[in-house]
Chain A
């Protein structure tokens, strides 16, 4: 059995590991070693990492339902918040670097281009999750309500994956892989939900 103690002890290392790529990319960006079109590269890398980490959060959450891996749930918040950190950096790159605060243009972009629309709403849906991520909030809201709010992650991650799928031009393999993983995890949740309901109502 994976002990909670072990998990808690590795938390700082995991956090460092997850943050490290962003520091590296921002460093390379400032250094001018991120290629010929650095804004695009930075934005793409941050966005891809954000999506991967949201999926990782879901995966860890699902795995923690397995008896022997229960302690993994202690990582959920850490990975989830790091994912949001990447979402935020991704969005900031888009707003500050790609469009330099040209908000009228950005609003048009959100309205006109489905992939931006999806990306934007994915971000918006993550906000209630982040703002209720403290232990206090769980208590205030009661766990039941808190849990319901956090099911939004599924909608958020789906929109995020669609955002990526739609912007990919020819080879959609990578976004499709993400969509399949998300679909599988979602299906697992739904099946589990149905089974537990049956168990409760004979």
Chain B
């Protein structure tokens, strides 16, 4: 799994070019454009992606990754995010970085992207609903932003907040969840090199249904921790609220690490269906990133801190 850490870096100019290509491609209707551009981009980078793939794994297709989503801001059905997100305007975008830091700032996305290096990261994504995918993300370590903000010593956690735009996000007009969606990480989790902020996948700008234009990806936790369409990053001194663990604390803990030993009343976490495969796979501890992240939780009883 170390191969994921030593990821290859996509030169930024190339990345920008691809972004342009994709924008024009995505403007045309879904069915015709996506399969084509998805394949094209996949071929461009297949070498890079393959280097990061585990032996018995394959990438999920662009179509799968962009049409089967949980993003309740656009509705609760799996295809709702794809179908109901066309009104959402991900650009221009700015992110507010605030709280217990020496340098609070608000930055627009273009400026932020000029300060970071976009990398390819092929990660497994394990949904708490017991399905999973393998996704080639583009993004940069969250640690980059933390460094820019220079947190104070009593900043122990980070809270993230999704944009609140009920007029563009039909799900937010209903009250089945308290909006805006919030999530959080402990500082060492946030600093971990596997934790990234993603701006694209398969070499494309993130589509709205995947959390455009900027989302978190924490591959060893259940998917709902990887909050989408982030507008605020807040440094705080105690464990912040996180939407699902507020709504159903007995089902979803703050940590929500992929962990088969923690019982869930609704889904067995012992196996998962990899999208596109018939047989279920056994779910791996920390979603297969145990080697990289287990030390973060040494001495903690993960049945209590689930």
Contacting residues of chain B (227-257) with chain A, CB-CB under 8 angstroms: 247
B273 on interface, CB distance cutoff 8 Å: yes
CB distance from B132 to the nearest CB of A (A): 11
Contacting residues of chain A (96-128) with chain B, CB-CB under 8 angstroms: 97-100, 102, 105, 108-109, 112-115
Contact A99 B280 (CB under 8 A): yes
Contact B78 A105 (CB under 8 A): no
Contact partners of A166 in chain B: CB under 8 A:
265-266
Contact A36 B64 (CB under 8 A): yes
B68 on interface, CB distance cutoff 8 Å: yes
Contact partners of A102 in chain B: CB under 8 A:
280
B173 on interface, CB distance cutoff 8 Å: no
The CA-CA distance from A169 to B268 in the complex, in Å, is 15
Given A36-B275, A115-B266, check contact A171 B176 (CB 8 Å).
yes
Contact partners of A100 in chain B: CB under 8 A:
278-280
The CA-CA distance from A100 to B68 in the complex, in Å, is 23
Other than the given A113-B265, A170-B176, 10 more pairs (CB < 8 A) read A35-B78, A36-B63, A36-B68, A37-B275, A39-B278, A100-B278, A113-B268, A167-B266, A169-B76, A169-B129
B177 on interface, CB distance cutoff 8 Å: yes
Total residues of chain A contacting the partner, CB 8 A: 22
Contact A36 B176 (CB under 8 A): no
Contact partners of B131 in chain A: CB under 8 A:
37, 40
Contact partners of B276 in chain A: CB under 8 A:
36
CB distance from A38 to the nearest CB of B (A): 10
Contact A35 B68 (CB under 8 A): yes
The CA-CA distance from A167 to B271 in the complex, in Å, is 17
Tell me whether chain B's interface is mostly helix, strand or loop, or mixed: loop
Closest to B276 in A: A36
Contacting residues of chain B (263-283) with chain A, CB-CB under 8 angstroms: 263, 265-268, 270-271, 273, 275-276, 278-280
The size class of the interface chain B forms with chain A is 20 to 34
Tell me whether chain A's interface is mostly helix, strand or loop, or mixed: helix
Contact B266 A171 (CB under 8 A): no
B117 on interface, CB distance cutoff 8 Å: no
Contacting residues of chain B (35-87) with chain A, CB-CB under 8 angstroms: 63-64, 67-68, 72, 76, 78-79
Contacting residues of chain A (116-152) with chain B, CB-CB under 8 angstroms: none
Contact partners of A113 in chain B: CB under 8 A:
265-268
Contact of B78 among A37, A39, A98, A167 (CB under 8 A): A37
CB distance from B267 to the nearest CB of A (A): 8
The CA-CA distance from A59 to B153 in the complex, in Å, is 65
The CA-CA distance from A140 to B265 in the complex, in Å, is 43
Contact partners of A35 in chain B: CB under 8 A:
68, 78-79
The CA-CA distance from A112 to B280 in the complex, in Å, is 19
Given A35-B68, A35-B79, A113-B268, check contact A170 B177 (CB 8 Å).
yes
The CA-CA distance from A46 to B275 in the complex, in Å, is 20
Contact A36 B177 (CB under 8 A): no
Closest to A100 in B: B279
8 inter-chain pairs at a CB distance below 8 angstroms, sorted by A residue, are A36-B78, A36-B275, A36-B276, A37-B275, A40-B273, A108-B268, A115-B265, A171-B176
Contact of B174 among A37, A115, A171 (CB under 8 A): A171
Given A100-B279, A171-B174, check contact A36 B265 (CB 8 Å).
no
Contact of B263 among A36, A97, A112, A115 (CB under 8 A): A112
Contact partners of B247 in chain A: CB under 8 A:
170
CB distance from A128 to the nearest CB of B (A): 29
Closest to B279 in A: A100
Contact partners of B68 in chain A: CB under 8 A:
35-37
Contact B266 A39 (CB under 8 A): no
CB distance from A41 to the nearest CB of B (A): 8
The CA-CA distance from A102 to B278 in the complex, in Å, is 13
Chain A positions 161 through 185: 1 when the CB is less than 8 Å from some CB of chain B, otherwise 0: 0000011011100000000000000
The CA-CA distance from A114 to B278 in the complex, in Å, is 25
Contacting residues of chain B (133-163) with chain A, CB-CB under 8 angstroms: none
Closest to A113 in B: B265
CB distance from B175 to the nearest CB of A (A): 10
Contact B177 A114 (CB under 8 A): no
CB distance from B79 to the nearest CB of A (A): 7
Contact B266 A37 (CB under 8 A): no
Contact of B76 among A37, A105, A109, A171 (CB under 8 A): A171
Contact partners of B79 in chain A: CB under 8 A:
35
Contact of A105 among B64, B176, B271 (CB under 8 A): B271
Contact partners of B67 in chain A: CB under 8 A:
36
The CA-CA distance from A57 to B268 in the complex, in Å, is 32
Contact partners of A169 in chain B: CB under 8 A:
76, 129, 266
